[in-house]
Each structure stands twice: as C-alpha cells, then as structure tokens.
Amino acid sequence: MVNRIFATEAIHNDRRDWHNLRSMVPFLWEFRGRAALALGCLVLAKFANVGVPIVLKDIVDAFENAEAQMLVLPVSLLLAYGLLKLAGSLFNELRDVIFARVRYRAMRRLSTRVLEHLHKLSLRYHLERQSGAVSRDLERGTRSVSTIMNYLVFSVIPVLVEFTLVAAVLLTKYALVFTLVIFGTVVIYVGFTFAITEWRMDYRRRMNVLDSQANTQAFDSLLNYETVKYFGNEKMELERYDGTLSEWEEYAVKSQSSMSLLNFGQGSIIALGVTVIMFFAAQGVVDGSMSIGDLVLVNAFMLQLFIPLGFLGIVYRQIKYALADMDLVFKLLEREPEIEDEPDAPALKLSRGAVRFEHVDFHYTPDRAILRDVDFRVEPGEKVAVVGHSGAGKSTLARLLFRSYDVSGGRILIDDQDIRAVTQESLRAGIGIVPQDTVLFNDSIRYNLAYGRPEARFEELEQAADLAHIRKFIEGLPEGWDTIVGERGLKLSGGEKQRVAIARAILKRPRMMVFDEATSSLDSQTEQAIQQTLAEVAEHHTTLAIAHRLSTIVDADRILVMDAGRIVEHGSHSKLLADAGVYAAMWELQQREREEAGVERP
C-alpha cells in the first residue's frame, strides 16, 4: 500500500515536472531565434570537440609511420588540432553570449509575471499568506528557471550531441564491442544516478519546507520586533527558529551523506567502464587490428564522454531540485484570483457618485455571517457615517465597496451600476480610502504621498500636504520631503502616518471617499484641525466614514449604527441621541471616558 502511494506520488511529480517544463516555453519564445542560434553554436562546438581526438589519432599514427611525410603531415595536423580546439572554445563562448539574453529575459519575465499575479490575487490570500515563505519560494522559483535553462543548454544537450557524434564514429570505424561497452556503462551510470537521486529527493523537499518555515519565523519575529521587545521573548523566538533549523540540519546531513554514497557508486561504474574499454583497445593493438592512434582515440573519447558524465549526477540533482522549486511558482501562477472581472466588462461610468448597498449579505465562511441584509444609500455629495462596536462589520463595508471581496447576497451599486459588472481598475480609480492601519513604503515621504497620483506636480503635493496639516512637519525635517519613513512607515508616529494617508487620498482626487477610522491615531488638537479638512473634502465627494470615536462624525448627514452585522439604527446625531438607543449609550460612554481622561491628565 505504501509503495503504491509513493509510486502514485512519483507519477504525479513526473507529470508536474513535464507540465512545468512546458509552462516555461512561453518565457523563452520571445527570443526563439537566439535560442536556435545558441543551439547551432553548441552543435558546432561539439563537432570541433569530437574532431580533436580524430586528428590526435592521425598525429600519433603519423609519428608511428616513420616513412610518411613526417615533417609536412604532422605540422598540418597539429595546426588542425589547434584550430579545432580554438573553434570548440569559440563556439562555446558564442553560445554563452547569445543565450545569456534568453536566460535572463526569461527570469525577468517570470519574476514580473509572478508579482503581477500576486497583485491580482484576492485580499483573502494576502491575509492568509506567510510573507517570509512566499519571498523565499519566489526567490528559489525564479532562480530555478535560470538553473534549468543553464543545465539543459550547457550540460544535458551538449552531452547528448557529443554522445551521438561519438557513437557515429565508433560504429563506423571500430568493432561493435567498443560501442556496447561505452554506452552500456553510460546506461548503468545514468540508471544508478537517477535511482539514488530520486531516493534523495525526499531529503531535499523536507529541507526546502523547513528552510521556508525558518525564514518565515525569522521574518515574522523581525516584523514584530517591538512586540518581541515588549514581552522580552527574544529567547523564545531564537529557540523556535533554532528548533526548525535543527530539523533542517538533520535532513541536510542525511542529504550530504547520501550524496557521498552516490558519488562513490558513480566513480566505481566509471572506473569499471574505463578499465574494460582500455582492455579491449590494448588487445586490439596487440593483435594488430588497431593502431596506437586508435587506442589514443578510444581513450580520448572515453575521457571526453566521462568527464561531463561525471557531472551528470550533480546536473540531474540540480534539475530535479530546480523543478521542485519551480513547481511552487507555477502552482502560484495557476491559483485563480478570487475576484475577477467579467469577460468584456465595461469601465465604471461615474456621473453623480451615488452609492447603494442593496440587501447585502456577506460571510467569509458559510457558518460565519458578517453582514446581514445591510441596505442603505449614500447620495452624491452626502456624508454617511457608520458606527458600532468592534466586530459589528463596519470595515467590511469598505472592503466590499472596494471589491476586495464579493458580496454573498444582494448587490452594491454605484450610479446604478453593479460593481461586479464593471472593471476593478475603473471602480478603484473612483474611490479614495484612508485606512485605519496606514502602511507606507520604505521610501521617502515624497514617494509615499505622490503614490496617490504619481503624475501630480510637486505644487499639488504641497497643496495636499497643506490640507492634511502635514506640510509644516515635512518641511521641518532635516531631509524634508526626501526623508525615508522606514519599513511600513515605522519612523513616523501613527498620527503622522495617517496624515500622509489623508494627503495621499486627497491627491488622488476620487469621486468617492472612504474614511476608515481616519483620525484614530491623532491627538485631540490635530484631530480637530483635520476634522475641518475632512469636512471640506467631504463637501465635494460622496463620503462613507467608518468611525469608532463618535465625536468625529457628529456632522455627518446620516449615521448608521451597526450591531452584529445589521443596521439597528439610523439618523442624524441629534435624532439618534433623542432616540436614546444604542448610539446614545455609546455616546454617553465615550463622553464619560473623555471626562475621566481629562481629569486624570496631569
């Protein structure tokens, strides 16, 4: 039963390998002419290499026959010998130069394709993925393309061409026994190598898994550097990391030990083959059926064949490892995006910017409902706020509007167009979002702010920064607009990051604005200043404001109160207070907390 499982898995892996090799072809097709020219140079180089022992045989035979034109013939043969060696080197180098563009362009295209595909995958995938493991898998996967092409063009195909040419010479000029011994040795060698390497592959796969796991743990602990420090858990992180590396070490040692067994077996087969072939050649010289030059020729062929053959085990192992690494990338490319445009979907036609949630239901899994029959409308130029306790489903509304997920029931309309029927690009171009958790690129403030509209003039950046009340802060920094904010913007405070996010959204100039806890990280003074800015921005936009701090949305045209995924109250601030319901209770609680905080503040 176990053997059947392993056999089935091996067949599946072989099919995947062939599938992945076929999948690599489109990345080579751009330079198919160059690839063909490189293969032509390879064949010419092998013709020159096979010609060298033949000329060497004639040189030896010329010296053996003292009565031949000893001073003329060897000189011409020696020149031919040198020219063939030179031609072999020249065509090999030409092959490398010509094929370099093919190899590196394929790596470039695959890397770009993978990044493009990752951006197409849904938010669900990116919330569940492990960044460290994905990073390591992608690095190995794209490198594997270069590895496979390198070995195929520079090792496997040259050996096959050379074998073919040598076989032609041996079969036409010498007894069949020489061909049988040489290629019988090759078959035994290749069979032994493949069998042992397949056995060793399990060690390599386990090493890859543990390597990615260790990298993920290290990456995770560094991303959460401050959390590690808060709880003093450096030792725990090191123990976790070292524990994974300890398992990796065990498999690495087993892999190296089995490699030594493989190398010794390969050496033994080659030694046996060389001994047998030289015995037959020497016997031919003794009985006069072969000349000294023939013995030299057969010996030279053996050396030329078995020197590259000595690397076949390494080549096969590396190709198998590269195929395993490549499989991770192509499986990723085969993963279908959860959110896709309909065929020939039109662009969103924005006119007024009216938003309608029409009896919307949503769940991540069928047994966990997030939104239930949510129904409301945001009129053009209107500001609608959504409030509620944590987990009520407020931020999910923004993600559904941005189409990070598709609704499970009902529909979302913008200017009477179902957002599932238009292109995602046009939909998102019309929406500006200021998220609660602002993450910035590890680049300058200028780059991060201009990200909202990369083609904007610097004067427009300054205006957006003015509106977000951050220009004075930026220009007060030693490096001003060129200040690097650090990974994820860690060099800036939460309030500074949010102000950059607000300026970035303003710069985008969208028709609809979504503020998801947009002032949650601001102090009271800055919050009041930015509230005025947000009010000015909202006058010209259809605005959805998601808030926990109720003081930030008292000026909203309508307030929706959510609880357990449903809208339980709606109305203006004054109406909701007068209703003395959920909103009024939340308002009273927050006011009391602010008063207590004010009393306790020194």
Four-residue CA torsion sign, 38, 40, 42, 45: negative
Which residues in 269-288 are b (16+ Cβ under 10 Å) and which e?
Answer: bbeebbebbeebbeebeeee
Give the burial string for 525-563 (b: 16+ CB within 10 Å, else e): ebbeebbebbeebbeebbbbbbbbebbbbeebebbbbbe
Report residue 9's pLDDT band, with 50, 70 and 90 as the boundaries.
very low
- Which run of H or E residues covers position 594? helix 582-600
Number of Cβ within 10 Å of residue 11's Cβ equals 10
Mean pLDDT of 336-349: 86
Q: What is the pLDDT of residue 386?
A: 92
Write out the DSSP string of 225-253: HHHHHHHT-HHHHHHHHHHHHHHHHHHHH
**Quick one: pLDDT band at residue 597, thresholds 50, 70, 90?**
low
Least confident of 180-184, 298-302, 460-464: 298-302
Q: 31: which 2 tokens?
A: 């330079």
In tens, the pLDDT along 30-74 reads 777 887 888 888 888 888 888 888 888 877 777 766 554 444 556
Residue 455 CA to residue 452 CA, distance in Å, equals 9
Look at 194 and 473; give whichever has higher pLDDT.
473
Identify the residue with better confidence: 599 or 161: 161
Confidence at residue 153, expressed as pLDDT on a 0 to 100 scale: 74
Query: In angstroms, rounded to a whole number, what is the distance separating the alpha carbons of residues 208 and 564?
Result: 43
**Which residues, 6 or more positions from 211, have their beta carbon under 8 angstroms from its beta carbon?**
136, 248
Domains of the chain, earliest start first: 11-334 (1.20.1560.10)
Is the predicted pLDDT of residue 317 greater than 80, yes or no? no
Query: pLDDT-based confidence at 527, cuts 50/70/90?
Result: low
Check whether 401 has a pLDDT greater than 70.
yes
pLDDT of residue 420: 92
More confident residue, 428 or 139: 428
Which tops the pLDDT comparison, 219 or 462?
462
How much is the average pLDDT of 11-27?
66
Q: 504, exposed or middle or buried, with CB in 10 Å at 0-12, 13-18, 19+?
A: buried
Cβ neighbours of residue 101 closer than 8 Å, sequence gap 6 or more:
31, 34
Residue 410: predicted pLDDT: 92
Structure tokens at 515: 């503020």
Tell me the CA distances in angstroms from 496 to 7, 421, 449, 470, 475, one per residue in order.
59, 37, 12, 7, 13
Rounded to whole angstroms, the Cα distance separating 44 from 84 reads 10
Angle at 578 between CA 576 and CA 581, to 5 degrees: 60
Percent of the chain with pLDDT over 90: 8
b/e 432-469 (16+ beta carbons within 10 angstroms → b): bbbbbebebeebbbbbbbbbbbeebeeebbbbbbebbb
Query: Which two three-digit tokens encode residue 62?
Result: 């010329």
pLDDT over 50 (residue 387): yes
Cα(546)–Cα(519) distance, integer angstroms: 10
Query: When comparing pLDDT for 307 and 43, which is higher?
Result: 43
- Least confident range from 7-16, 416-425, 513-522: namely 7-16
In this structure, are residues 518 and 531 in contact, taking their beta carbons and an 8 Å threshold?
no
Percent of all residues in the chain with a pLDDT value above 70, rounded to a whole number: 87
Closest CA to 439 of 528, 527, 553, 521: 521
CA distance 320 to 329: 15
Helix %, strand %, coil % for the chain, to 5? 70, 10, 20
- Provide mean pLDDT across the span 350-362: 89
User: Which tokens in the block code for residue 139?
Assistant: 């690095």
Is residue 420 within 8 Å of 403, Cβ to Cβ?
yes
At 533 the pLDDT is: 67
Distances (CA, A) of 494 to 12, 326, 390, 491: 50, 40, 20, 10
- Which of 2-6, 86-90, 516-520: highest mean pLDDT? 86-90
- Cα distance between residue 435 and residue 346, in whole Å: 28
Name the nearest CA neighbour of 133 among 23, 230, 244, 225. 244
Q: Taking all residues of the chain, what is their mean pLDDT, rounded to a whole number? A: 80
Torsion sign, CA atoms 242, 243, 246, 252:
negative
> Which pair of structure tokens corresponds to residue 308?
């590259």
d(CA 591, CA 441): 36
Which residue would you say has higher pLDDT here, 164 or 596? 164
Whether residue 381 contacts residue 542, with contact meaning beta carbons closer than 8 Å, is answered with yes
Give pLDDT tens digits for 436-473. 777 788 888 899 888 888 888 999 989 888 888 888 88
Given a cut of 60, whether residue 330 has pLDDT beyond it is: yes
Task: Report how far residue 7's alpha carbon sits from residue 28's, in angstroms, rounded to the nearest whole number.
Answer: 32
Say whether 91 sits in a helix, a strand or coil: helix
CB 375 within 8 A of CB 359: yes
The answer, yes or no, to whether residue 5 has pLDDT greater than 50, is: no
